[in-house]
A and B are shown apart, each in its own frame.
Chain A
């Protein structure tokens, strides 16, 4: 690669980054603003990070968001992994194409449509909207992402390991937990992280399916912003950015590293000329 970026490349790089991250940077900077006015800088302070904790509405919403995230990510990971296994293992069963299409549809479906159709479903079956509907909706949304991540790992998973386990007397379900799961765990964890962050920052689907007592943080922030941005919102947003950033970074480092290790281990565990 050319080491000298050249002025054109450099400018576009700077502009690109600025375009992407300047608003976020601004938000983080203003969360440390002394002044109550969001746009006027009056010196450094961390008081909004303190007062934020006293804001009950905000804290309730944060707590709901975390609970929805943990629960929906976990369910989505279980279901997504199962879907990935089915798609990977059974190459021919009636309705496979339909099934795989249905698993992946939410990836490209506009969120408004997903949100609306789920809402219609809940209304139709007379399911009271609230915590559970948001959780279920998020599970639906994130499951396909988990399936994609896990399936891409299964493609390179050597089935003869499972055969070897069964040959040694291990029934299929036990084989899954003793052999398959430990080896695909990094992908499963990465899938969970992805699901959690997606649930954390989803506004559209959540607002369609929310109900009393189930206001998530994005909904709360969105509704408060209409009344005016307060530095407290800046503060909690900064924290969310931090959590998401850490989650994404940890997940990508973990996948990267385990991928390298797995490659090494697998190349070693199998004879190349086999």
Chain B
């Protein structure tokens, strides 16, 4: 049986279909502020009904990308197409795109209700319809009791929810959310995440969301883009980003990972051997396309795929390391063991705490063995 990467949430992958037409298309878009390049020759296709996440360090150009789509910045060069039409010269108030601002930008002189109704009034909707929609939105963000308050009478999380409701009220074809849930507590955030997913799915909207929370991106998105210095490093579904990162940058940015540097000793068929002087042994792995013998490469394996035990593995097992437990992080659901190899390198292994009581717990300074199967990690060449 063919193996797949991670769980399959829904059958939705227009990006794999060569005939599918992208809904939003960035074509070699560059944006410069003076001589600083915020977005650098970026091309990206986003499909209708897609839930698309932008991830990246602060200042990498995520907000700038969104502002160009919303119409507040003109690209220095390149084109942005929406549903096949060039957006150049279309003012923000004529674009079927709504944005939730990173700074919320609530109208201070209007009530919560007034803020949410503002966009609907611009469309000239009849009053009963506006009232109904506002009620619905207030219910969605659980602010019914605060309808008559002004923004300064709300808490940070409540304001964020008003901003969210205001941008959602018009049910725009494309909704841009710039860190929409950052100020919410964990419980409310999770609830809102699932509600956002429901809304997006039910109304068939296209969401482009910026977040600093990887878990959030993983949970909600159809695809994730990892950005750095104004460029896209990788664009792929969550499981692929996690299990098949295309570079050390992505591997390191998303989740926790062990990166071991080495030289490709041999590459035959789909088997690859990496000589790693750093850990004094060689690693057996599956070849992942690029990488010829003699090239420098990095072996990347997630800590939860590294097995840790007191007992030596049976003879003939590949990829065995031994060392001493250096540090233990107990996180409740899992424990993270940092194991120091004889030459000083640290390899992390996480173990799910599946039982409450353990017979022979692994403790500080214990001598342990680390192993992983050949297909547990991948070899990265950049």
Binding site secondary structure of chain A: helix
Chain A residues closer than 8 Å to B330, beta-carbon distance: none
B94-102, B236-244, B260-268 - interface stretch: B94-102
A168 touches B119 (CB 8 A): yes
Chain A residues closer than 8 Å to B183, beta-carbon distance: 271
A271 touches B104 (CB 8 A): yes
With an 8 Å Cβ cutoff, the count of chain B residues facing the other chain is 34
Whether a CB of chain A sits under 8 angstroms from the CB of B374 is: no
Question: Which A residues between 91 and 107 are near B, CB-CB below 8 angstroms?
Answer: none
Chain A residues closer than 8 Å to B108, beta-carbon distance: 161, 183, 262, 265-266, 268-269
User: Which residue of chain B lies nearest to A185 when distances are taken between CB atoms in the complex?
Assistant: B109
Interchain CB contact (< 8 A) of B151 among A170, A172, A182, A269: A269
0/1 per residue, B134-162, Cβ < 8 Å to A?
Answer: 00000000000000001111101001100
A170 touches B93 (CB 8 A): yes
Which of A163, A164, A179 gathers the greatest number of chain B CB atoms within 10 Å? A164
With an 8 Å Cβ cutoff, the count of chain A residues facing the other chain is 28
Whether a CB of chain B sits under 8 angstroms from the CB of A270 is: yes
B101 touches A268 (CB 8 A): no
Whether a CB of chain B sits under 8 angstroms from the CB of A12 is: no
Interchain CB contact (< 8 A) of B104 among A165, A166, A179, A274: A274
Chain A residues closer than 8 Å to B159, beta-carbon distance: 268-269, 271
Interchain CB contact (< 8 A) of B118 among A163, A168, A271, A274: A168
User: Which residue of chain A lies nearest to B92 when distances are taken between CB atoms in the complex?
Assistant: A166
Whether a CB of chain B sits under 8 angstroms from the CB of A128 is: no
User: Which residue of chain B lies nearest to A168 when distances are taken between CB atoms in the complex?
Assistant: B119
The distance in angstroms between the C-alpha atoms of A239 and B314, with both chains bound, is 106
Whether a CB of chain A sits under 8 angstroms from the CB of B338 is: no
**Given A167-B70, A168-B98, 18 other A-B residues pairs in contact with their CB atoms under 8 A:** A160-B101, A161-B105, A163-B105, A167-B92, A169-B122, A171-B93, A264-B152, A265-B152, A266-B108, A268-B151, A268-B152, A268-B153, A268-B154, A270-B105, A271-B104, A271-B183, A274-B102, A274-B104
Q: List 23 A-B contacts (CB under 8 A).
A: A160-B105, A161-B107, A164-B166, A167-B92, A167-B93, A167-B98, A168-B119, A169-B119, A169-B123, A170-B118, A170-B122, A171-B91, A172-B93, A183-B109, A262-B108, A264-B152, A266-B108, A268-B153, A268-B159, A269-B151, A269-B152, A271-B183, A274-B103
- List residues of B whose CB falls within 8 A of some A CB: 70-72, 91-93, 97-99, 101-109, 118-119, 122-123, 150-154, 156, 159-160, 166-167, 170, 183
- List residues of A whose CB falls within 8 A of some B CB: 158, 160-161, 163-172, 174, 178-179, 182-183, 262, 264-271, 274
